[in-house]
């Protein structure tokens, strides 16, 4: 829990400025801060709590040519970045962080009003350099892992998304080559086959993107991320994008938890 200080105190202002600067300068968030011990707090333990339960799955590619390199990065204490899982090209699944812990994989991000995506998500890295198709064995392992995760958490099916969706000004993973349709066909994420039916008159694309989860404060970046995820390398017009967004909103309302 973030410590509370009087608004007028200089230490509070200095701490906020330092924290914002660090968040804007780094891809991964700072580790959780220890609670302050100077406050007069009476501690009475309650048995009424449980562990963190993720509500999103965030997919990444490592940007490297070998799983060993990605593993080194994700386990290096000086890099301050991690993920819950890494899946190699050969389909081997590595668990790096316990699911009930907060891994540092999203960085400065936003999705559906959530600004601390790390606290709400499980992060899965896929061993891929970003310029190549994803291996069949790797995607099969990902589908099996998602099904296994679904046995423990009622995550909405629409909440399997990419790093670019939550951080579109900084990230483009898991890249244009990622097979989102294959995942959606298995119940993980959203997809609409082109061309969908036209959107109704007056349909607002920017409002629709916000309803899907994209950050309305950066509309052009949000639209770019939307195209990267759902259009990929297919040329489209704005009317086609409106139709696609309308279709996806309907799918989002229908898709069940996995």
Please report which confidence band the pLDDT of residue 38 belongs to, taking 50, 70 and 90 as the band edges. Answer: confident
SS3 116: coil
The two structure tokens encoding residue 102: 């907060």
* pTM, two decimal places: 0.84
Please report which confidence band the pLDDT of residue 11 belongs to, taking 50, 70 and 90 as the band edges. Answer: very low
pLDDT, tens only, 241-256:
999 999 999 999 999 9
Please report which confidence band the pLDDT of residue 93 belongs to, taking 50, 70 and 90 as the band edges. Answer: very high
pLDDT-wise least confident of 41-45, 124-128, 138-142, 203-207: 41-45
More confident: 3 or 242: 242
pLDDT, tens only, 104-141:
999 999 999 999 999 999 999 999 999 999 999 999 99
| Percent over 70 (pLDDT), the chain | 86
Q: What Cα–Cα distance (Å) separates residue 220 from each residue in 105, 125, 147, 168, 171?
A: 23, 26, 34, 9, 14
Q: Which of 125, 238, 240, 241 is catalytic?
A: 125
> Which one of 2.70.180.20, 3.40.50.360, 3.40.80.10, 3.40.50.970 gives the CATH number of domain 56-185?
3.40.80.10
The two structure tokens encoding residue 127: 């061993």
Q: Is the peptide bond preceding residue 174 cis, with omega within 30 degrees of 0? A: yes
pLDDT (average), residues 80-85: 98
Kindly tell me if the per-residue pLDDT of 100 is higher than 80.
Answer: yes
For residue 179, what pLDDT is reported? 98
Q: What share of the chain is helix, strand, coil (3-state, %, to 5)?
A: 35, 10, 55
Task: Report the distance separating Cα 183 and Cα 105, nearest Å.
Answer: 21
Q: Give the domain ranges of the chain.
A: 56-185, 205-254
The two structure tokens encoding residue 46: 């309650």
Look up 125 and say whether it is catalytic.
yes
Task: Report the distance separating Cα 171 and Cα 126, nearest Å.
Answer: 15
For residue 135, what pLDDT is reported? 98
- Which residues, at least 6 apart from 93, have a Cβ–Cβ distance to it below 8 Å? 85, 86, 87, 141, 145
pLDDT (average), residues 80-93: 98
């Amino acid at each position: 829990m973030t410590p509370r200080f009087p608004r007028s105190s200089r230490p509070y202002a200095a701490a906020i400025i330092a924290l914002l600067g660090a968040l804007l300068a780094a891809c991964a968030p700072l580790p959780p801060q220890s609670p302050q011990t100077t406050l007069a707090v009476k501690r009475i333990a309650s048995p009424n709590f449980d562990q963190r339960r993720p509500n999103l799955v965030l997919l990444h590619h490592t940007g490297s040519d070998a799983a060993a390199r990605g593993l080194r990065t994700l386990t290096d204490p000086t890099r301050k970045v991690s993920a819950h899982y890494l899946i190699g090209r050969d389909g081997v699944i590595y668990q790096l962080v316990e699911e009930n812990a907060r891994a540092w994989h999203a960085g400065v991000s936003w999705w559906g009003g959530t600004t601390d995506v790390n606290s709400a998500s499980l992060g899965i890295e896929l061993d891929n350099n970003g310029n190549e198709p994803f291996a069949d064995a790797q995607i099969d392992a990902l589908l099996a892992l998602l099904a296994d995760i679904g046995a423990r958490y009622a995550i909405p099916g629409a909440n399997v998304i990419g790093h670019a969706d939550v951080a579109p000004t900084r990230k483009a993973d898991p890249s244009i080559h990622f097979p989102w349709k294959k995942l959606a066909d298995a119940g993980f994420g959203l997809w609409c086959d082109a061309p969908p039916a036209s959107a109704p008159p007056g349909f607002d694309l920017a409002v629709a993107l916000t309803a899907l989860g994209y950050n309305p404060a950066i509309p052009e970046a949000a639209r770019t991320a939307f195209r990267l995820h759902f259009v990929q390398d297919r040329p489209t017009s704005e009317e086609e994008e409106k139709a696609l967004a309308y279709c996806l909103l309907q799918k989002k309302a229908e898709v069940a938890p996995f």
